[in-house]
Each structure stands twice: as structure tokens, then as C-alpha cells.
Structure 1
């Protein structure tokens, strides 16, 4: 009987210790809201956009790290290679601070490079179905 009581006491103390330790890990009231606000401030200061770039034939592999580093220096922002497209174009992701106006500035800087044929911001295109109420039909 003493052994069972001793085992139960040890088990109870272990659970009690675990509960005390975990209660110290709980966030302070309002901490979640503060973290959310901090994340929103960070997101509002950085902008990420995908751009479609067609390089001249002299650029053999635009996914090379040294070439991406050169592009990053040109636009003063982080440039990552995403994927190739048909027609010799490539999709790049540009991450920068400054919002929409900064993205347009980056597009201008990229288009001025001698090895770039064209550059445009990637966008989701949607097909519009005609319907009877559509005034543009």
C-alpha cells in the first residue's frame, strides 16, 4: 500500500511541476495583439512582387547566384529566381521596402539594363465569361 501511495505522490508531484512550468510559458495579456501589430508593421514596410523578365540571348542562365546578385545590386533589393517561362522569359521575385511605388522604380531600373529585352510585373489574369447582364458583351 505504501508503494502505491508513493508512486501516486510522485506522479502527482510530476504533474504539478509540469503545470507550474507550463503556466510560466503563457503569454502575457495583450501579447498576441502586440505581436500581430508588429508583424503588420513589418509586412507594411516590405513589398514582394513577381516580375517577368526576358533577357537577351547572351544571358545563358539567369538563375545563377552571381547573376542574381548583379540584378540585386542594380535594383538595390533582393532578387530570387522563381522559374522559367515559355518564350525565353523568366519569373523573378523581388523583395523590397517601399511599397508599390518602389516596385515600379525597380521595373524601370531593370528595363534599363542592356541585357534585358523587356520586364513587367507578373499578374493573375482571369478570363471574363460573357453573360446576359454584362454591359461589355
Structure 2
């Protein structure tokens, strides 16, 4: 019967829409946490699996920053690390938005959210 089929489809669309909205909300919370972590990032508070590695990592960052010209060679090691933190804070936010889009909705999420509408289209 067409009325029952319409009710079933409407219920399915409603459930999928709620599930899609939940997924998008969760994704946006995670995205905002990532942005917040980038805004407040400091090397000294970053976790290292093994603290003995921290000095090796710092040395690599210092060499990179001075070699690539992000920090002048005569600057102190601490200034090179500070320059790295600033570079990370200011440049990575835009990179993330380039990867996942300004709205923060991934392609897969868009497909999942639009799936019920597509399925209804197949029935008609």
C-alpha cells in the first residue's frame, strides 16, 4: 500500500537525518578541539612517547627552522623553537581547512547525509 510505503520511507529519512546530524555535530566538536589544540600548541607541553626523544626532536626542529630560513642562524635555540610554534599555530589552521573544507564536512559525510534523499529518488 502506498501510504504505508510513504510512512516507512519518511521514518527512514527522519532516522537517517538524525543520525547524520549526530555525526556532523560530533565531527564539528572534534574539528574545533583540533583548532583549539593548534591555537594553544607548545612544544614543552607536547607529549613524547619517550622523554629521552624530546632533545633529539628539538634539535631537528631547530636545525630545520634555521636551515629553511624561518629563523636566522644566529638566533638562540629557544627562539627557533618559539618560531616553530608560531609557524605551526598560524599556518596549520589554513592547511586543515584546505584539506577538509571550510565548513568541516568531509565528502563521505556529505554522501551519507544525502543517501536517504537519493534512495527516495530511486523509488520515484
**Which has the higher Rg, Structure 1 or Structure 2?**
1
Q: Which has the higher helix share?
A: 2
TM-score normalised by L of structure 1: 0.28
Q: Which has the higher contact order (CA 8 A, sep 6+)?
A: 2
